[in-house]
Structure 1
Amino acid sequence: MSRLGISGRLAALFKQNQITPLLALVGFLLGLFAVLVTPREEEPQIEVTFANVFIPYAGASAKMVEQQVAIPAEKIIAEIAGVEHLYSVSEPGRAVLTVQFKVGEARTDALVRLYNAFYAKADWQPANSGIGPVLIKPKGIDDVPVFAVTLWSKNPQVTAADLTSAAKGLEEQLQQVPGSRDIYSIGGVAQQVLVRLDPTRLAAYQLSLPALQQALLQNNSQSQSQAMLAPDQLIQLQAGNFLSSADEVASLVVAVKNENGQQLPVYLSDVAQVSLGSSEPVSYVQQLQRDDAGQLQQSPAVTVVVAKQPGKNAVDVSSALLAKLDQLQQGYLGQDIEVSVSRNYGETAKDKADTLIHKLLFATLSVVLLVGFALGWREAFVVGMAVVITLAITLFASWAYGFTLNRVSLFALIFSIGILVDDAIVVVENLHRHWLLGKKSLAEAIPLAVEEVGAPTILATFTVIAALLPMAFVSGLMGPYMSPIPINASMGMLISLLVAFIFTPWLFLRVFGNKNPVGAHHDATDSKLEQLFNRLMRPFLSKKAGRTNRIKLLLGLLTAIGLSVLLVTSQQVALKMLPFDNKSEFQVVVDLAEGSTLEQTQAVLNQVSQALLQLPEVTHLQTYAGTAAPINFNGLVRQYYLRQQAWQGDVQVNLKSRLERDEQSHAIALRVRPALAALEKSTGASIKLVEVPPGPPVMAPLVAEVYGPDYQLQLKQAQQLQQTFAQVADIVDIDSTVEAPQPLWQLVVDQQKAALLGVSVTDVSLAVQLASSGGNAGFVRQPHQRSLTPVVLQLAEAQLADWQQLSQLPLHSNTGAVIPLSELVQKQQVQRENTIYRKDLRPVVFVTADLAGGIDSPLYGMLEIQHLLSQAPAPLPQNLFSAPDNTDELSIKWDGEWQITYETFRDMGIAYGVGLIMIYLLVVAQFKSYGVPLIIMAPIPLTLIGIMPGHWLLNTQFTATSMIGMIALAGIIVRNSILLVDYIQQQLAQGVALETAVVHASAVRARPIVLTALAAMLGAFFILDDPIFGGLAVALIFGILVSTLLTLVVIPVVYYAYSYQKQP
């Protein structure tokens, strides 16, 4: 070669340059730095911003809230840029709107736009409308706790109040741990001064509830001290005093009575029972487990949760929290309080990262061993060092880009091992071949050997990048979740190319020396391979039968591709977004009928817990009645943190480590489903088993959105749809947003009579509100207490439930007379209005479900329901991709996992197409031909012959990670074709006959092609056992195996068919 290209020039420049080993050393040190400083997390941190907007409208019906609050607020939010979805829930007295911004929207900018939208239209409601102020609460991935600890006690003398006090102190202590944030307790009870009122006594002393509340507030104040100038000094002057105990509250004078002409004080204790104690429980948290003897232990509990600051290492934060907890447990918490760590995402992140780093090292070692057996141990050493330097620099580049060390980024590196080593293998193999030829000294041969494979290696590298990189632009939650794979792999490919051209020749020269090998002057081509390929290809190259044989070969390949696709259409290979992961936790979500009591909810949770504790893999669990368990990313998206009603409950199930059990968490969950289904029938509650989703979460795996012109019709249609869901065998956890009827006492005020008696409707409403839900009448303040103790006015529960007693509630008229409530109101028992849901400015009713059984992909459940619905006399219109534009008729929009599956596979399909176009353009630019690139890309469809049967053989679902493997294969297989075609053209340029050139090309290039293929397969073997990325491994292993073997024969044959008539 008279003139070297860029690859040959780089090899010539660095092969004996003193800077080369220093560059390698710097690259290695940068990798060590990245490993030490890159934060470790279990899952990628997806920048997704939510915000809840709370708008109260006291006394308004659900329909009024929808029309006068939700819809006007939706109009304001809909104008904000970057909003992906907008949900609203209109219930009596309140609207809750949820704003979901598009993935990747900068959190601060998004929230500023949301706040500005409301503040710029602060007059969106008229004054005195009764609509309260807007409260915005942002939510994001950093709000998910990484650590949770549950406090409980074996000692029955330890009360919930004791646990609450310990938890509050623990919060303050854990806040000292660097990197911690958003620490709070779930469960427990608060101290309060409870004032239990007696309506009869109130009436006797002519006192009303509002008057009593005002008396308490007015006698519990203290002014700020002011300086007063005295003759020789400043004196601080302060007036008033705070109430500091329950006794002071009880002895407070709230009125004056006239008895026998004498004015006597009326104390609060005369009309109420005053006591200091725990507040009425609004939630129950309990810890349940079995002791060593198998006996059930159940006790009240409080859970303290801790999130981490953005960008902090979850492993470091959790380790520091554990160390602090051990220190506190020895002295601060005391012996009677037990501590159970119910969440430690730092530990699971460390476990996952350590496991994957070990796999990365083993994958690298296996590739080095492969090269050692194929080429020699010195060649293997060169390849191994190149891979180490490449990985080190790639880790640094990944850190610089902003990625963390998580399961996806590490899987990207393991998956990349096979392709990162390709460049080094191709260069080392060709250096090895030229060294054996011995026609030149090694120093002289190196630039020529690198140049010979340089152009096709550069092109092949960029084709792999062209195939992978478009996947970085997949939209939705799946895009950033999987983005480390295309980005890390693409960066690694570029780095490996530079290492192959700069460092590999230098090290090869140092290892093999400058002298020619003794007795190595022979043709390095393996004669046996030459004979093998000659026998395989001659039937297709002969002038008589060659054309017929080539047609038969083509038809055979097309048949094999068709049969492979048939495996999918016949459901022999199931399609699913992502398979279930092997986690150490799952959750059971329980919903009783609306209006059920807290005690009823706890009773059902106890039954659920009994069933769960039959599983030997369960270490302990926590039940949460009337409040939500600590949320994970799934709970964040599903807004489980809003589950605060008395009839709602959760069970947090904690399993043994994956190393201590034989079954995966999904199999364990399937085992307990029959018991939960039996409980669902016996209790009438909705009991849903919720596993941690392997990828981006959705509202439910199977979601049907019912749209229509009238909300009552939508509710009826949703109930019918639930019945249709129940007809499909594997569909479980069926639920909807249709609510059970709730009784409502409507106290209708006789306005005319009230006006004549001097009582306003507001007086009546305020008195009833204070009596029923309690009213805050100030606080008791003590210097040593961390928080204020509220003073709460309330009737006894027995009196509230008894209309006869409640009706005697005294009301003050403006004339000073006291009038019982029964004189002014008429009680009507009606039903509470159903909550009204809206999505993206349309009223909607949600029907949700899950699949468990044979094929657990929601796609097939949806298809079966679609079929059942289509058999109806008047089938409902069904929308798959977007909500209906016209809601004048009832219709269904399918959502849930189907939506994210469709969007992901659609975007990946587009990325696949873009990648193929980019590969074609690159190859056209290199070979200056429109036809040759089509030959080079011909093996791409051949990958299906390996991918689909591979999934069928291993009984593996075709998932999004399988699709990633399929896309990556396009670049990997094309690089093999490029090596073959480039060598054929080099042979033809030297005057070799076409028939000889195509056979010789396969024989000469078989070794690097097979080596690189085996290297990629070896790397994939180390992720084959992963529940999520197993599909990627199957696609790579079987796709590479079949397509590589076919490529070595098909490409030369197709090139011959394309070129033989053009030969002179």
Structure 2
Amino acid sequence: MNDSSNDVNGENQKLGISGRIAKTFLLTEITPLIALIGLLLGVFAVMVTPREEDPQINVTFANIFIAFPGASAEEVENLVSTPAEQVLSEITGLKHIYSTSMPGMSMLTIQYKVGIDRTDALVRLYNKIASNQDWLPQNLGVGQPLIKPKGIDDVPIVSLTLWTEDENKGGFELSQVAHAIEAELKRIPGTRDIYTVGASKRVVHVLLDSAKIAGFNISLDDLRNALAASNTAKDAVSVVNNNTEIQVVAGTFLSSDDEIGDLVVGVFNGSPVFLKDVATIKHGADSPETYVSFSTAKGASHKGLQEGIKSPAVTIAIAKQPSINAVSVSNNVIKRIEQLKGTFIPEGVNVTVTRNYGDTAKAKSDKLINKLIIETLAVAALIWLALGYREAFIVGTAVVITLALTLFASWAWGFTLNRVSLFALIFSIGILVDDAIVVVENIHRHMVLGGKKLVDVIPIAVDEVGGPTILATFAVIAALLPMAFVSGLMGPYMSPIPINASIGMLLSLGVAYIVTPWMTNKVLSKVDFSHHQEDDGETKSHKFFHFILSPFLRAKGGGWKRFTLLFVFIPILIAISLSLAFPFQKVILKMLPFDNKSEFQIVVDMPEGTTLEQTSRVLNELSTELDKVEEISDYQIYTGTAAPINFNGLVRQYYLREGSNLGDIQVNLTDKHERKRQSHEIALAVRISLQDIAKKYNANVKVVEVPPGPPVLAPLVAEIYGLDHEGQIEIASKVRKVFESTKDISDIDDSVEANQERLVIKVDRQRAAHLGVSQAAITSSISTVLGGEDVTFIHNKNLKYAVPIRLEFPVANKDKIESILSLKIRSTKGALVPMSEVVHVQEGTREHSINHKDLLPVVYVTGDMTGHTDSPLYGMFSIANGVKEAPVAAYDKNINEHYFSPPDDPYFYSLKWDGEWQITFETFRDMGIAYGVGMIMIFLLIVAQFRSYVVPLVIMSPIPLTVIGVMPAHWIADKQFTATSMIGMIALAGIIVRNSILLVDFINDQLRAGVDLNEAIINSSAVRAMPIMLTAAAAMVGAFFIIDDPIFGGLAVALISGILVSTVLTLVVIPLLYFMYLRKRVHIITGTSA
């Protein structure tokens, strides 16, 4: 605090930096321009900042596929996956490297640390693979690595489901429509990847008749060679004739079914054999590998649809480019679809928007911006009641300018307008207003004293509160800013809160010293302060605090009462408050609560070997339960493929879910304003009935909700390590049984595939060699019989996608092993040799895939937590206790459990807990470190201001008092203590320290003025109660506007309860603690001898 004289004429020489800034901008014409520019910058930021629902997290994945046809899973692991992992693990910036070794294929996934630039990450990956292509011997049979990068921008923001009730149209016709409009949508600026889910491919089927082939003495090689040789052409060659250059093209491509059928494939009895003589040519849809359907449920009317629709469908997924406004892209996509109806979209084909993240982003940002406006008005109303309408106008204008500048700074920093960045501003308003309140209130107080002109008072009044205000502002920043360095996915997800709030605090300080004095001079210049009277008698506040504090200040008995209050009663309250979390579990700890979304997924895994048709039947039976739910508007069933992914699906790699035994149901709910139940309640309600149906078919069903924060593989993940794969599987089976026997654990699964029957057709090499048949010809023919062979492609200028000409047998023949054995192969001598003479069939079981994580073999067991607790942390510890009681058969002893890092000794079986536990541990650990760093920074700031090592401890002592409010409030409000609650507690540290600084600074001023210590202590609470309660009320008003949010409600509860309780206790605790410190040290403050 600046103790300058009140001599106005000497103020120039004695003003501190805050007073000099105020005086410089008080009468200059540039000040209103600064305010205007600040407002315009805010308007500009709102207009140009991209709007999204969630913050963009720069997390890069890449899948590397390496084919090794015919190799076993163990061979793939040893020869491909492990060497590849060793090479790729050298890349800097990697967080994890995963691999799955399966028969004939290695799939590796690398995950970079959050924040690593996507382009740099992929360049490192491609360089590493290109420079190590000699890791495998040539001619081993291993294919070239195929790299598929993935990132947040690959998540579609809009999905359009095309469906029809026309019986003459099906998935194939819908696919043609979808492909036709893909290019039209790609022309929209800002769109990125556009693809169709469930599209049927167009194929020219050459359906072979095995009897006719044998009758005409034709082999598969004859057919293959005839098609390939007849579909070739050479580029134009120039020839000159009569001084004219003529272009000559050699050959033409196959372009029609008739041309294909008329191909000569052999000669029999001196006559040509045409392809149509031995095969049927059909141009149409490929054999179905996926099914997609669209259905409506009881809430369909909210979308303008009729209930009970069940139609074939395809879905177009549209992603957007980075840093592009999701709202504008989605609006333009939907507008373009409307324009295409009647032209590219024929009559009878309906288009339903089944995902629109642009719409949800707009709704969320509009709602939060409205809350910002209402909250600013509410804070201004609070100031009006306390100081007057003119002062409220000044403070409200200062807040608006600060918010405008903060929005611009947020855009310049690279943030988008999303729920986290806007919540940061909403929660910050309560503390952004403090600087303006302090300045305006002090100017008002000086004018009430009288005797000076307003223009002369303003610099002095600003300077008088400049030091404490600057210190308090930096104390709040010191508490918040370290949170920006939280690691993992949670760090960048929540980073807008500490960064935007800290920037806002700095800007509010500048506005308070530059704009607020100028506005005060303009608004209050003609106000008559003479009618204001200073109440110099004993006020009610003074009487109240005299009654409260006097018993603790008396020489007789006061010491015992102080000790009992400060070191017995308050610690007991803190201990009781903490016990609500542990051990009584009245307050549940969780990473983040579920948000109220408009969608969830049902992920279905049938046993390996299940046909596509059977999987479809099970999915349709599951969907009958969805038809009973009032809040479901529509759903899409995806059989054999995955629904368009969201961020959760990106991290869990749902985009790799392809196979006849896999399926998804994408469930869309009515708008949250049109239903009473939240999405989490609905998901819990359908889970039990769905899993009852799943048990009948031995299916695994998971109800997957959109996570409120960074996603993980599963809420509960047990990683089983050990070198013997069979031993890992055995232990995983035991761990899974513990999962199943633990209360409230659901969606249980593991990474061990079900046994699937396998037939191995072995070639008798000696017999084949004797007959002149190569093994390559045999295996190629078997592949053609079972799966067909795309020999070449038809050429048509009107086709968007290449159409293969496929040699294949009718479906009825594919399912019979006899069809393979009866097939004849042409030998090198020209004779046709029956397949049965050179092969025999061996029955077996398909090998299980082998998973690695960070170069260690691993088997996963996963699950989720439901019930009242609804926090995977408690489920994990319950399971962990059960695992300790389950001995490992191989060693007859308990398995080693690890919670924080993988096992150091991979030669012994061990269990590492992952999932939500890992991200919760990392987040709360980093937040705890950030909290500690903030406390140290606040301590150093206060030491620098008060030049004492003890006074900062007194000033910071109310920080633990926040627990007394926070934990009981979470219990009463039935709120889980989450990461946002922790953020609220961290912010409380800076807010509460501000109050302590005001009290200690006032006591020092009183003592320097010669007031008795006891009276100074009472006066500090009596006089400072008003500004302290006012700033506390402003912060609480700000928090009230986010208390209804499912995710940030915990932050609001922490702020409101913590500020309320700690502010009241601070007015008692700080004066008493400072009294105990000063009893024999008053001379240090007054400068007199002891």
- What is the TM-score with the length of structure 1 in the denominator? 0.98
- Maintained 8 Å contact 1:440/1:516: no
What corresponds to 1:102 in structure 2?
A: 113
Partner residue, 2:9: none
In structure 1, what residue type is equivalent to 2:1008? A
Q: Aligned partner of 1:272: which letter?
A: A
Residue number in structure 2 paired with 1:622: 636
User: What pairs with 1:942-1021 in structure 2 (closer than 5 Å)?
Assistant: 942-1021=961-1040
Taking the aligned partners of 1:935 and 1:310, their CA distance within structure 2 comes to 49
Q: Give the CA deviation at 1:269.
A: 1.8
- Structure 2 residue 296 is the aligned partner of structure 1 residue 289: yes
Q: Which moved more, 1:289-298 or 1:323-332?
A: 289-298
- TM-score normalised by structure 2 residue count: 0.96
Rounded to whole Å, the distance in 2 between the matches of 1:308 and 1:141 is 10
Q: Does 1:276 align with 2:283?
A: yes
- Residue 168 (1) aligns with residue 176 (2): no
Alignment of 1:71 onto 2:82: yes
Match for residue 573 of structure 2 among 560, 565, 568? 560
Residue 235 of structure 1 corresponds to: 246
Aligned partner of 1:350 in structure 2 is 362
- Matches of 1:112 and 1:843 in 2, distance apart? 28
Change beyond 3 A, Cα 1:525–1:465? farther
Q: What amino acid is the match of 2:247?
A: Q
Deviation at 1:329, TM superposition (A): 2.0
Kindly state the Cα deviation for residue 444 of structure 1 after the two structures are TM-superposed: 2.1
Aligned to 1:714: 728
Q: For 1:663, what is the secondary structure of its paired residue?
A: coil
1:1034 lines up with 2:1048 in the alignment: no
Moved more, 769-778 or 823-832: 769-778
Q: Which residue of 1 aligns with 2:11?
A: none
Other-structure match for 1:23: 34
Percent identity of equivalent pairs: 55
Alignment of 1:149-298 (within 5 A): 149-257=160-268, 259=269, 263-290=270-297, 296-298=308-310
SS at match of 1:619: strand
Shift of 1:279: 0.6
Q: CA deviation at 1:887?
A: 1.8
- Over residues 937-977 of structure 1, what are the superposed CA-to-partner deviations in whole Å (9 max), with x where a residue is unaligned? 00000000001001001010000000000000000000110
Partner of 1:796: 810
Shift of residue 4, structure 1, vs aligned partner: 1.6
Paired with 2:121 and 2:794, the residues of 1 have a C-alpha distance of 41
- Residue of structure 1 equivalent to 2:600: 586
Partner of 1:724: 738
Name the residue aligned to 1:528.
Answer: 540
Superposed counterparts of 1:344-743, under 5 Å? 344-513=356-525, 517-523=529-535, 527-554=539-566, 555-569=568-582, 570-743=584-757
Contact 1:882 1:893 in 2 (8 A): yes
- Structure 1 residue identity aligned to 2:64: V
Aligned twin of 2:849: 835
Q: How does 1:799-878 map to 2 (within 5 A)?
A: 799-873=813-887, 874-878=893-897
Q: Which residue of structure 2 lines up, in the alignment, with residue 340 of structure 1? A: 352
Summarize deviations over 1:212-248 as a string: whole Å, max 9, x none.
Answer: 2121010111221111111221111112111111122
> Hey, what's the Cα distance between the residues in 1 that align with 2:134 and 2:688?
55
Q: Separation in 2 of the partners of 1:214 and 1:524?
A: 109
| Contact residue 222 and residue 266 of structure 2 kept, 8 A | no
What is the one-letter code of the residue matched to 1:946? G
The structure 1 residue matched to 2:123, chosen from 106, 112, 126, is 112
Conserved 8 A contact 1:702-1:849? yes
Tell me the residue number matched to 2:1086. Answer: none
Instruction: Give the C-alpha shift of residue 514 in structure 1.
Output: 6.0
Greater CA drift, 15-24 or 686-695: 15-24
Q: 1:319 to 1:982 in 2, by over 3 A?
A: same
Letter of the aligned partner of 1:986 in structure 2? D
Structure 1 residues 730-769: Cα deviation after superposition (integer angstroms, max 9, x where no partner): 1100001111111111011111111111112111111111
Aligned partner of 1:1053 among 1067, 1072, 1076: 1072
Q: Distance in 2 between matches of 1:871 and 1:749?
A: 50
Structure 2 letter corresponding to 1:528: K
Could you tell me whether the CA contact under 8 Å between 1:412 and 1:484 is conserved in 2? yes
1:958-1008, CA deviations, whole angstroms, 9 ceiling, x for partnerless residues?
000000000000000001101111111111122221111121111221111
Deviation at 1:797, TM superposition (A): 2.4
Distance 1:234 1:725, change over 3 A: same
Counterpart Cα distance in 1 of 2:288 and 2:690: 27
Shift of 1:723: 1.0
Residue 300 of structure 1 corresponds to: 312
* 1:140-176 deviation line (CA, Å, top 9, x unaligned): 0000000110000111111222111110111111111
1:319 paired residue number: 331
Question: In 1, distance between residues paired with 2:245 and 2:307?
Answer: 69
Amino acid corresponding to residue 58 of structure 2 in structure 1: E
Moved more, 455-464 or 760-769: 760-769
Unaligned runs of 5+ residues in structure 2 are 6-13, 888-892, 1083-1089
Shift, 1:712, TM fit: 0.6
Give distance in 1, aligned partners of 2:451 and 2:838. Answer: 114
User: After superposition, what is the alpha-carbon deviation per residue over 1:631-687, rounded to whole angstroms, capped at 9, x for unaligned?
Assistant: 000000000000011100000001111111111111111111121121121221001
Match of 1:87 among 73, 92, 98: 98
1:915 aligned to 2:934? yes
Paired AA for residue 403 in structure 1: F
Counterparts of residues 49-60 of structure 1 (less than 5 Å):
49-60=60-71
- Answer yes or no: is the 8 Å Cα contact 1:438–1:521 preserved in 2: no
CA distance in structure 2 between the partners assigned to 1:542 and 1:639 by the alignment: 69
Tell me if structure 1 keeps the 8 A contact 2:170–2:313: no
- Give the secondary structure class of the aligned counterpart of 1:958: coil
Find the residue that maps to 1:850 and give its secondary structure: strand
C-alpha distance in 2, partners of 1:797/1:852? 45
Give the residue type in structure 1 aligned to 2:970: H
Moved more, 241-250 or 343-352: 241-250
8 Å CA contact retained: 1:719, 1:738: no
Q: Distance in 2 between matches of 1:559 and 1:208?
A: 90
Distance 2:586 2:287 in 1: 57
Instruction: Determine helix, strand or coil for the equivalent of 2:822.
Output: coil
- The question of whether the paired residues in 2 share the 8 Å contact of 1:40 and 1:405 is answered with yes
1:786 to 800, 809, 815: 800
Asked if the contact 2:88/2:128 (under 8 Å) is kept, the reply is yes
- C-alpha change, 1:515 and 1:778, in structure 2 (3 Å) is closer
Contact between 1:189 and 1:278, CA under 8 Å: does it hold in 2? yes
Structure 1 contact 593–647 (Cα < 8 Å) conserved:
yes
Residue 443 of structure 1 deviates from its aligned partner by: 2.0
Aligned to 1:773: 787
| Inter-partner Cα distance in structure 1 for 2:588 and 2:468 | 38
Structure-1 residue corresponding to 2:890: none
User: 1:1006-1040 deviations in whole A, cap 9, x for unaligned?
Assistant: 11111110111110000000000000000000000
- Specify every segment of 5 or more residues in structure 1 that has no aligned partner in the other structure, as ranges: none
Let me know the Cα RMSD of the aligned residues: 1.3
The 1-side partners of 2:691 and 2:445 are apart by: 67
CA deviation profile, 1:167-200 (whole Å, cap 9, x unmatched) = 0111111111111111111112122110112333
One-letter amino acid matched to 2:132: K
1:467-489, Cα deviation, whole Å (9 max, x unpaired): 00000000000000000000000
Identify if the C-alpha distance between structure 1 residues 650 and 545 changes in structure 2 by more than 3 Å, giving closer, same or farther.
same
CA offset at residue 334 of structure 1? 2.2
